[in-house]
């Protein structure tokens, strides 16, 4: 399990931070060294600052900026941290990433209308991030699947904390559009069908109740163990 990238994906408000906290505690209990990054690195570096401005709506409304340009900003934000990622992997760290390339694909492809546009944009993002920018590919990825009606309620609540500082009191234009979140969910489903190492993690029971964070964590870590055993 040394020198692996684990990515956690999900809609805004799906509980990624909770699962990452539990994963970190598990790795610590096993004596495994780890590193963690949340992408995008808002307000850090040239591209993180530009992304923060975009999400605050300073470049216009959601439809005012072409998704290819937005994808470029998010991709270049990751590239700024590429050398650090590669160093950690070479030193045997387990690298946990809150959002990665699949997030860029899901959010940007959700903004275009036709299937041909989606396919073209997805291909461009994959080529740009993994070939042109030569980012390391994740070893295993997880999508926290939460019903859309729960996501809608979560996003309607006031969200606070240091990770909201980039908004300067404004709304995040990605989070404020539930139509976008619905379309992003559909794009994640496509990626889940296409990628064998991308795993759906159901966060709700058949009775439409939240599974406990610990139960969700156990499912995630069992799949990580399966990956490690297969190496």
pLDDT tens, 2-56?
Answer: 899 999 999 988 999 999 999 999 999 999 999 999 999 987 889 999 999 999 9
Specify the pLDDT at position 159: 54
Whole-number Å distance between alpha carbons of 210 and 176? 23
Q: What is the pTM of this model?
A: 0.92
Give pLDDT tens digits for 177-222: 889 999 999 999 999 999 999 999 999 998 888 999 999 999 999 9
10 is in an annotated binding site: yes
Q: pLDDT at position 230, please? A: 76
CA-to-CA dists, residue 12 to 99, 174, 227, angstroms = 11, 9, 27
Q: How many domains does one find in the chain?
A: 1
As a whole number, mean pLDDT of residues 107-122 equals 98
14 is in an annotated binding site: yes
On whether 12 is known to bind a ligand per the annotation, the reply is yes
Question: How much is the pLDDT for 146?
Answer: 94
User: Is 86 among the annotated ligand-binding positions?
Assistant: no
Q: Return the structure tokens found at 106.
A: 């899901």
Is a pLDDT exceeding 70 seen at residue 168? no
Q: At residue 223, does pLDDT exceed 90?
A: yes
Q: Is 15 annotated as a binding residue?
A: yes
Q: What are the two backbone dihedrals, phi and then psi, of residue 111, each rounded to the nearest 5 degrees?
A: -95, -10
Vertex 230 angle, CA 226 and 231, to 5°: 125
Is 16 assigned to a binding site?
Answer: yes
92 marked among binding-site residues: no
CA atoms within 13 A on the CB side of 11: 31
Evaluate if residue 132 carries a pLDDT over 60: yes
CB within 8 Å of 78: residues ≥ 6 apart? 39, 40, 100, 101, 129, 133, 135
DSSP 123: H
- Tell me, what's the pLDDT at 207? 81
Q: What does the angle CA 8 – CA 195 – CA 41 come to, to the nearest 5 degrees?
A: 30
Tell me which residue of 40, 68, 38, 65 sits closest to 54, measured CA to CA.
Answer: 65
Rounded CA-CA distance 50/55 in Å is: 9
Starting at the earlier edge strand, list the strands of the sheet with 198-202.
34-38, 94-98, 4-10, 140-145, 198-202
Mean pLDDT over 98-122 rounds to 98
Lowest mean pLDDT among 12-21, 87-96, 114-123, 152-161: 152-161
Say if residue 167's pLDDT is above 70.
Answer: no
Tokens representing 88?
């950690």
Return d(Cα 79, Cα 74) in angstroms, integer: 9
Residues spanned by the domain of 214: 4-230
Which DSSP state fits 130? I
pLDDT in tens, 69-107: 999 999 999 999 999 999 999 999 999 999 999 999 999
Instruction: Indicate if the pLDDT at residue 169 is higher than 90.
Output: no
First to last CA, the chain: 8
Give the CATH number for residue 39: 3.40.50.300
CB atoms within 10 A of CB 167: 16
User: Looking at 54-63, 162-171, 213-222, which range is the least confident one?
Assistant: 162-171
């Amino acid at each position: 399990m040394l020198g692996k990238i684990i990515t956690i994906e999900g809609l805004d408000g799906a509980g990624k931070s909770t699962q990452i906290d539990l994963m970190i505690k598990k790795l610590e209990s096993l004596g495994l060294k780890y590193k963690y990054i949340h992408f995008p690195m808002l307000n850090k570096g040239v591209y993180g600052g530009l992304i923060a401005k975009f999400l605050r709506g300073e470049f216009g409304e959601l439809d005012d900026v072409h998704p290819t340009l937005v994808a470029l900003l998010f991709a270049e934000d990751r590239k700024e941290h590429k050398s650090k990622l590669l160093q950690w992997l070479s030193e045997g760290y387990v690298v946990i990433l809150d959002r990665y390339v699949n997030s860029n694909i899901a959010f940007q492809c959700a903004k275009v209308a036709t299937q041909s546009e989606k396919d073209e944009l997805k291909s461009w993002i994959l080529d740009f991030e993994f070939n042109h920018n030569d980012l390391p590919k994740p070893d295993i990825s997880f999508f926290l699947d939460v019903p859309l009606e729960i996501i809608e309620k979560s996003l309607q609540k006031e969200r606070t904390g240091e990770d909201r500082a980039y908004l300067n009191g404004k709304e995040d234009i990605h989070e404020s559009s539930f139509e976008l979140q619905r379309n992003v969910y559909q794009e994640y489903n496509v990626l889940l069908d296409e990628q064998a190492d991308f795993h759906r993690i159901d966060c709700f029971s058949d009775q439409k109740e939240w599974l406990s964070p610990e139960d969700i964590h156990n499912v995630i870590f069992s799949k990580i163990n399966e990956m490690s055993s297969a190496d």
